């Protein structure tokens, strides 16, 4: 059995590690275009923002460790095409230029995503960057440490843009954020939490521009100003965080079914429409736990889990991924926020009869130091009261509370179940009626 994996970050490494453990005699080869494998780009904002300094900490498993486990790792090798009929791939060695073919019994596509760079005028100027690779991180950290760089413009108010605002403010920069849509993170959070996030940014001194469109940049070598439909602003550095697209262009004409945005369509086993070809991660769809629809969620959580499911199936086990709740969280300056399941907007679009509550409570008792407000939104079925979604925000102890809600949704609990769930009470952690119990009891 010969297993070939294309792409060596989250989904690819999770799959190959699992397959290797289950099939110790299989031949496993992982082709990776870049120079590192198992790299966690999620750490980049904190590396750039100087929360830590050793870039190697972002590498979960070394090439040597993969090789030791019997996986052949070919970095600096780009897969140019796939021929499912011949079960063959064409590969380019990027160092030598040599092009060769390799064959497989089972193939996994884990080629991830690339940041979208909109067609801004002068977008190739030197001080304009996306945030994705280790080299993006190294370059942006140098800019962040340069005292001459004072004004940083962030284009995009999604999670990467917000984390970069946090990072750049931590490095002492003046940060301007320009967001095209009318609020922050509109696909992930409802307006109540988006508004809390916006207040947090504004109170921390971030110059937030909502509903404004970037047109391009002025400058010759470097961007010196950002031009929008509303004005022109001086800048020393521009960070573009306007979303990602799946790396699947090389799959056209292979017969592998792709979604509208180019993501490889997979089933719950991670299998494509072609029997011996699997996919997972940012280059593929993922099934939604509640709706069973194939959705696009470029998150490491899903990439790792679906990657491991692919590993099981590559080894012949018939394992299915239960589905994603799109659980995610982030820290922006003094605030944490997290979400799981459906937002109110998504429930509306799906024509689900729903109700919602939004409460403000406290993270723990008043007499223990550090009491803070905590905000919880629940979305639940109007008739059955079964939980459909939740969002939590606050200065402290907010994000990890979402895991209880994710588990509750997974277990198909009702708001009443949540109201009486035996959650922890001890003064430094909660109040007698924990905030999640309170939210459950308020939701009628
Ligand atoms: C700044 C930042 C912060 C993030 N924070 C979080 C977070 O907090 N939580 C979270 O869950 N997710 C987060 N993410 C998302 C997470 O990093 C991705 O979901 C995850 O990396 C996806 O893994 P992947 O293996 O599918 O794809 P990728 O990480 O994109 O890796 C794909 C690999 O395939 C290689 N490749 C592509 N084409 C080819 C080819 N033709 N031949 C050979 N190799 C190829 C690429 O070089 C790349 O190394 C963050 C992402 C970024 C950029």
- Helix 300-314 to helix 10-22 angle (10° resolution) is 30
- Among 42, 265, 274, 295, the one annotated catalytic: 42
User: What is the per-residue pLDDT for 176?
Assistant: 98
User: What is the per-residue pLDDT for 77?
Assistant: 98
User: What is the per-residue pLDDT for 436?
Assistant: 98
State the burial class of residue 95 (Cβ atoms within 10 Å of its Cβ: 0-12, 13-18, 19+).
Answer: exposed
Closest residue to atom 6 of ligand 1, CA basis: 42
Pocket of ligand 1 (CB under 6 A): 6-7, 9-12, 31-34, 41-42, 44-45, 78-79, 110-113, 131-132, 160, 247, 250, 281-282, 298-301, 303
Average pLDDT for runs of 10 along the chain of length 444:
98 98 97 96 97 96 95 98 98 98 98 98 98 97 98 98 98 98 97 97 97 98 98 98 98 96 98 97 98 97 98 97 98 95 97 98 98 98 98 97 98 98 97 97 96
Q: How far is the CA of 282 from the centre of ligand 1 (A)?
A: 6
User: What is the per-residue pLDDT for 133?
Assistant: 96
The preferred substitution site among 58, 112, 252, 262 for testing ligand 1, maximizing ligand atoms within 8 Å of CB, is 112
Give the pair of three-digit tokens for residue 73: 């790792």
Distance CA 265, CA 272 (A): 6
- Percentages helix, strand, coil for the chain (3-state, rounded to 5) are 25, 30, 45
Question: Is 42 considered catalytic here?
Answer: yes
Give the pair of three-digit tokens for residue 400: 């990890």
E-strand stretches of 304-426? 328-332, 335-341, 354-362, 373-381, 387-394
> H or E stretch including 217?
strand 214-218
User: What is the per-residue pLDDT for 183?
Assistant: 97
Distance CA 18, CA 236 (A): 45
Give the pair of three-digit tokens for residue 356: 């919602």
**DSSP sequence for 370-392:** ---EEEEEEEEETTT-BEEEEEE
Q: Is the pTM of this model over 0.75?
A: yes
Q: How far is the CA of 117 from the centre of ligand 1 (A)?
A: 16
């Amino acid at each position: 059995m010969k297993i070939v994996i294309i792409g060596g970050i989250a989904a690819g490494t999770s799959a190959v590690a699992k397959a290797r453990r289950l099939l110790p005699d299989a031949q496993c080869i992982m082709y990776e275009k870049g120079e590192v494998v198992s790299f966690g780009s999620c750490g980049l904002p904190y590396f750039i923002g100087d929360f830590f300094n050793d870039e190697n900490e972002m590498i979960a498993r070394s090439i040597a460790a993969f090789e030791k486990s019997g996986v052949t790792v070919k970095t600096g090798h780009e897969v140019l095409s796939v021929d499912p009929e011949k079960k063959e791939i064409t590969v380019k060695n990027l160092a030598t230029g040599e092009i060769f073919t390799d064959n497989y019994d089972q193939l996994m596509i884990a080629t991830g995503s690339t940041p979208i760079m909109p067609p801004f005028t002068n977008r190739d100027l030197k001080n304009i960057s996306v945030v994705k690779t280790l080299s993006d991180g190294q370059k942006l950290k140098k800019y962040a440490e340069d005292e001459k760089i004072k004004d940083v413009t962030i284009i995009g108010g999604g999670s990467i843009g917000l984390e970069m605002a946090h990072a750049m403010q931590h490095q002492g920069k003046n940060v301007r954020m320009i967001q095209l849509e009318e609020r922050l993170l509109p696909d992930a959070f409802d307006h109540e939490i988006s508004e809390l996030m916006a207040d947090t940014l504004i109170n921390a001194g971030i110059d937030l521009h909502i509903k404004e469109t970037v047109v391009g940049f002025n400058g010759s070598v470097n961007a010196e100003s950002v031009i929008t439909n509303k004005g022109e602003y001086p800048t020393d550095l521009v960070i573009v965080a306007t979303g990602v697209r799946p790396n699947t262009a090389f799959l056209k004409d292979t017969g592998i079914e792709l979604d509208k945005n180019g993501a490889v369509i997979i089933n719950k086993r991670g299998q494509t429409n072609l029997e011996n070809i699997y996919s997972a991660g940012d280059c593929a769809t993922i099934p939604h736990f509640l709706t069973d629809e194939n959705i696009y969620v470029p998150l490491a959580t899903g990439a790792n889990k679906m990657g491991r499911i692919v590993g099981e199936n590559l080894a012949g086990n018939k394992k299915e991924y239960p589905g994603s709740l799109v659980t995610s969280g982030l820290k922006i300056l003094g605030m944490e926020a997290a979400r799981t399941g459906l937002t109110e907007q998504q429930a509306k679009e799906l024509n689900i009869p729903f109700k919602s509550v939004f409460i403000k409570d406290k993270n723990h008792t008043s007499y223990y130091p550090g009491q803070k407000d905590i905000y919880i939104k629940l979305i639940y079925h109007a008739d059955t009261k079964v939980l459909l979604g939740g969002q939590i925000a606050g200065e402290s102890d907010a994000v990890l509370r979402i895991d209880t809600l994710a588990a509750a949704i997974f277990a198909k609990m009702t708001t009443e179940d949540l109201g009486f769930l035996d959650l922890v009470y001890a003064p430094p952690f909660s109040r007698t009626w924990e905030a999640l119990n309170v939210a459950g009891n308020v939701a009628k």
